[in-house]
Copies of this chain bind each other. A is one copy, B any other.
């Protein structure tokens, strides 16, 4: 397989694993195994685990931006709904949302933090400059997005139906897409 294809394949696998187990909780060996390749090879292709993670979150933020740009055209009235649906639509790529959620608590790491801030900033700039949100509208839009990230990060989906809070929160966050979301998210107890 060509190196570029292999890189993409590893990035996809790494998104799933990093998304499920966070940066520190993930070993390069798990990523390698998920990609069907040897551990030294992922290290050689990406240099270090940190560089791999950086590429993974850069790619993730780029995908979010792309999904937003695709969903933007249309009436202004339901602009927010369209972009929101685009965001949850990213759940089809395994690990994408948990990964982004996890990246928002990495501000303390020098390199990774900078990349995560850049990624978030690119989304905010899109909302303000391209989508035409006011600062207040952007705040509300991103606030809901971050609540969704929290729901995903906490794996509240596993308690849906059996625990009152989780059920309420999920119903509030995904008024008509709860089942879709639940199907796509990793459960708390999901083994990797």
Contacts and interface: CB of A to CB of B under 8 A. Distances in A.
Interface of A: 20-25, 98, 101-102, 104-110, 113-114, 116-117, 120-121, 124-125, 128, 135-136, 138-140, 142-144, 146-147, 149-150, 152-156, 159, 163-166, 168-169, 171-173, 186, 188-190
Contact of A147 (B106, B142, B168): B142
Contacts of A101: 104-105
A124 B165 contact: yes
Nearest to A164: B125
Nearest to A146: B146
A60 to B, nearest CB: 14
Contacts of A168: 124, 128, 135, 138
Contacts of A140: 140, 143
Given A136-B172, A143-B144, A154 B21 contact: no
A124 B22 contact: no
Given A113-B154, A165-B124, A171 B105 contact: no
Contact of A146 (B23, B147, B159): B147
Given A120-B165, A147-B143, A165-B120, A153 B107 contact: yes
A179 to B, nearest CB: 19
10 contacts: A22-B24, A22-B105, A104-B105, A104-B153, A107-B152, A108-B188, A110-B188, A113-B188, A124-B165, A143-B146
Contacts of A149: 104, 146, 150
B124 A169 contact: yes
Contacts of A135: 168, 171-172
Given A101-B105, A117-B166, 13 more contacts: A25-B108, A107-B155, A108-B155, A110-B188, A116-B154, A125-B164, A125-B165, A135-B168, A135-B171, A138-B172, A139-B172, A146-B150, A149-B150
